[in-house]
Amino acid sequence: MRPFAAGAPAYQRLPRIYWALIALVLAGTIAAPQFRTASNIANILEQSGTLAVLAIGQAFVIAGGMIDLSVGQLVGLITVLSCMLFEAYPSMTLPVVAGCLGLAALVGLLNGELINRLRMSPLILTFGMLSVLQGCIFMLTDRSIGQAAPSVAFLSNGRLAGIPVSLFLVAAVAIVAYYALQRSVFGWHLLAMGNSADSSRKAGLNLAALTRIAFLVSGLCAGVAGLLVAGRLGTGFPNAGNGLELDAIVAVVLGGTPLKGGRVSVVGILGAVLFLGVLNNLLNLLQVPAFTQIVVKGAIVILAILADRPGRLAQAA
């Protein structure tokens, strides 16, 4: 079923970020000789997996006109918890994975419930939750702990015929998200809520349920991202999630999804994630000094939201 009306994000052209990505790739190929080797490209794809999953989860929340700032610390919590459990129960990998994903989804659900019941702005609620979760992590451990299960490590670091295994996972998540957000009634309702909560409520949509589901998905994606990080690091590092929520939001906005919601493009988000991955890679390959890299990162955040203007993106479509 093809939804129509203001919420339908059927872009006729490639999202703008892809032009930036192509330009960056061309510049990179010229400036850094090792950039276009197969192993480097595979590296970039592998390094970008976590952000891709996290940004897709965040897209559900942003599409509905909300925001989830707690995902970074939730990733950290899942990374630590999963590694602790993997090490303690090495033969129970699958139940541990299931349990951690369930926990992540539950935290997301909790966020949604609190927003509904306390009638609080998602911004503040998830901002406070960020601190709460960070405290939880440090009550579990103050140093790296545990050991990732070999299968999870393979998921994050392994290659099949040169292609990173995590890429398949990301692709699967992206396809499901695409259908849920851009090709289903649920997505249509979610975008309507993002467009105008008042009109949606008057039209009879169940905003509370939409909120709950959006945050549940965001939490679940944070759980998946947490497992990917655990595999990448091989151990549960408590600060592993610091700042990831900002990265995810930037990726969503750079990909052409406005922060106030109402429209979404999964393809755009993937393009933005690739853009950021290529950028970080080039900054290292070109030996840009460390402190300059920090300024560049902050500038990208600012530029991303300055470019997030409703008029300009509508013109692109």
Counting every residue written for the chain, the total comes to 317
Give the residue with the Cβ less far from another protein, 88 or 172.
88
| Cβ atoms 59, 268 nearer than 8 A | no
Where in 132-171 is the site for another protein (CB under 8 A)? 132-147, 153, 157
# chain residues binding another protein, by CB under 8 A: 92
* Sequence letter at residue 180: A
Residue 206 binds another protein, judged by CB under 8 A: no
Give the residue with the Cβ less far from another protein, 201 or 309.
309
End-to-end CA distance of the chain: 21
Give the residue with the Cβ less far from another protein, 106 or 180.
106
Give the residue with the Cβ less far from another protein, 144 or 184.
144
Tell me the C-alpha to C-alpha distance, in Å, between residue 43 and each of 18, 57, 143.
Answer: 20, 23, 27
**Per-residue interface string for the shown chain with another protein, residues 175-204, x marking contact by CB under 8 A:** ------------------------------
To another protein, the closest distance from the beta carbon of 2 in angstroms equals: 31
Q: Is 147 exposed, middle or buried (0-12, 13-18, 19+ CB in 10 A)?
A: middle
Give the residue with the Cβ less far from another protein, 142 or 198.
142
**Per-residue interface string for the shown chain with another protein, residues 229-268, x marking contact by CB under 8 A:** x--xxxx-x-xx-xx--x--xx--x-----x---------
Mind giving me the DSSP string for 118-143?
HT--HHHHHHHHHHHHHHHHHHH-SS
Give the residue with the Cβ less far from another protein, 137 or 182.
137
**Per-residue interface string for the shown chain with another protein, residues 25-64, x marking contact by CB under 8 A:** -------x-x--x-xx--x---x--x--------------
| Cβ atoms 218, 58 nearer than 8 A | yes
To another protein, the closest distance from the beta carbon of 1 in angstroms equals: 27
To another protein, the closest distance from the beta carbon of 180 in angstroms equals: 19
224: left (phi over 0), alpha (psi -120 to 50) or beta: alpha
Where in 82-141 is the site for another protein (CB under 8 A)? 84-85, 87-89, 98-100, 102-103, 105-106, 109, 114, 118-121, 123-125, 127-141
To another protein, the closest distance from the beta carbon of 78 in angstroms equals: 10
Residue 291 binds another protein, judged by CB under 8 A: yes
Q: Where are the alpha helices (DSSP H) in the chain?
A: 17-31, 38-63, 71-88, 93-118, 122-140, 150-157, 165-182, 185-195, 197-202, 207-233, 244-254, 266-285, 290-306, 310-316
- Dihedral, 10, 13, 16, 22 alpha carbons, nearest 10: 130
| Cβ atoms 157, 94 nearer than 8 A | no
Give the residue with the Cβ less far from another protein, 73 or 265.
73
